Structure 1
Amino acid sequence: MYDTILVATDGSQPANRAVDHAMNLASTFDAPLHAIYVVDTRRYGDSVLGDSAAATEELESRGRELLEDIQQRADIDVTIEIRHGRPHQEISEYAETIDTDLVVLGNRGLGSGGEIGSNAERVVRNVDRPVITA
C-alpha cells in the first residue's frame, strides 16, 4: 500500500507520536522511511539565523539528534534530511522530490495551542498525497 513514507519532526509530543506511527507503518509495509527536520527560518527569523552561525548550528544539531534517534529506534532503513526554510514548504518539496506515498506529521508543533497547527494545516492543504496527522 505504501512504498515510501515521509515523517516530519520538530521534537514536540505530537511529532513524536507521528514518528512512532510512521515507523510502525513503514515496518508493516516494508517501506523505506524518510525523516525530515526543518530549521524554521520564519519562526526564528532569517536575520537572526543569518547573523549567528552558532544559532543555526544549534538548531541543526538539535534536528540531527532527533533524526539520528529515529534511525536508531527504527527496525527499518531511515533516510534523514535537514532543511532550512518554512516547514510546510520544505516538507512539501521533499515529499515531491522523493515521490512519497504518505506524509506523517504531528497535528501541532512546538508553538501551537489546542487546535491543528498552522504547519500541519498547510501541509494537508498543499501536499498532493495522503497525509496523516498524529
Structure 2
Amino acid sequence: MYNDILIATNGGVASARAVEHAVDLAAERDATLHALFVVDEDAYSAYSGDEYVDGHEGPEYGLREHGERALADVERRCLDAGLTVETHLVRGVPHQTVVDVADELGVDLMVAGSKRRPDAYRALLGSVTERVVRLADRPVLVVKTPVDEAGERVVP
C-alpha cells in the first residue's frame, strides 16, 4: 500500500518522533523513505543581511546547514534500519513546498510531526503541518509529540 513515504522534517522536537514513525512504517512496508527539509524563504528573505559578505554567512546558510544535519540524521536512521532513503533539501514556502514535492515524487503517504502550542500561537500563525493537511490530496499521517512547558519532548 505504501511504497514511497515522504517525511517532512524541520529537525525539531516534533520532527524527531515523526521520523521514528516514518522509519518504522517504511521498514514494515519495505518502502522508500523520502526525507524533505524546506529552507523557509520567508525566514531568510525578511532580513537584508547587509553585514554578511561571504556566501557562507547569514540566515539562509544557517538554515541550509541545519537542514543538512536534519537530513543526515534521517539518512543515518534509515541506513541503520536497512532502508532505501532519498534526501531533498529545497527552498520555498514550507507547507506549499512539502505538498509540491510529494506531488512531484508521487508518494503514497506524507508524514509530519506536530506538537502542542498555545492557542494564541496557533490562532496567529497556525502550523506548517496543519496547512499541509489542508492542502494535500494524498494521505497525511500527523504524529503528535507531547511536550512539557519548556517545549521539550516528553517521552511516554
What TM-score do you get using the length of structure 2 for normalisation?
Answer: 0.76
Q: Which runs of 5+ in 1 are unaligned?
A: none
Q: Find the counterpart in structure 2 of residue 2 from structure 1.
A: 2
State the 1:49 CA deviation.
6.8
Aligned-partner residue type, residue 131 of structure 1: V
Q: Find the counterpart in structure 2 of residue 58 from structure 1.
A: 62
Aligned-partner residue type, residue 93 of structure 1: D
Task: Give SS of 1:90's match.
Answer: helix
2:79 aligned with 1:72, yes or no?
no
Distance in 2, matches of 1:118 and 1:10, equals 12
Instruction: Pick from 118, 134, 138 the counterpart of residue 129 of structure 1.
Output: 138
Distance in 1, matches of 2:37 and 2:118, equals 22
Consecutive aligned runs of 4 or more in structure 1 exceeding 3 Å deviation: 49-53, 114-117
Summarize deviations over 1:45-83 as a string: whole Å, max 9, x none: 414277654221221111011101111111201100011
Distance in 2, matches of 1:127 and 1:22, equals 18
Summarize deviations over 1:91-116 as a string: whole Å, max 9, x none: 000000000000000124xxx72467
Q: Over the residues paired in the alignment, what is the CA RMSD in angstroms?
A: 1.9
Question: Judging changes above 3 Å, is the alpha-carbon distance between structure 1 residues 20 and 114 closer, same or farther for their aligned structure 2 residues?
Answer: farther
Q: Find the counterpart in structure 2 of residue 102 from structure 1.
A: 109
Q: Which runs of 5+ in 2 are unaligned?
A: 144-156
Distance in 1, matches of 2:113 and 2:6, equals 12
**Bigger radius of gyration among the two:** 2
Aligned-partner residue type, residue 103 of structure 2: E
Q: Find the counterpart in structure 1 of residue 45 from structure 2.
A: 46
Task: Give SS of 1:107's match.
Answer: strand
Distance in 2, matches of 1:49 and 1:98, equals 33
Structure in which a larger fraction of residues adopt helix: 1
Identity across the alignment (%) = 38
**Partners of 2:110 and 2:138 within 8 A in 1:** yes
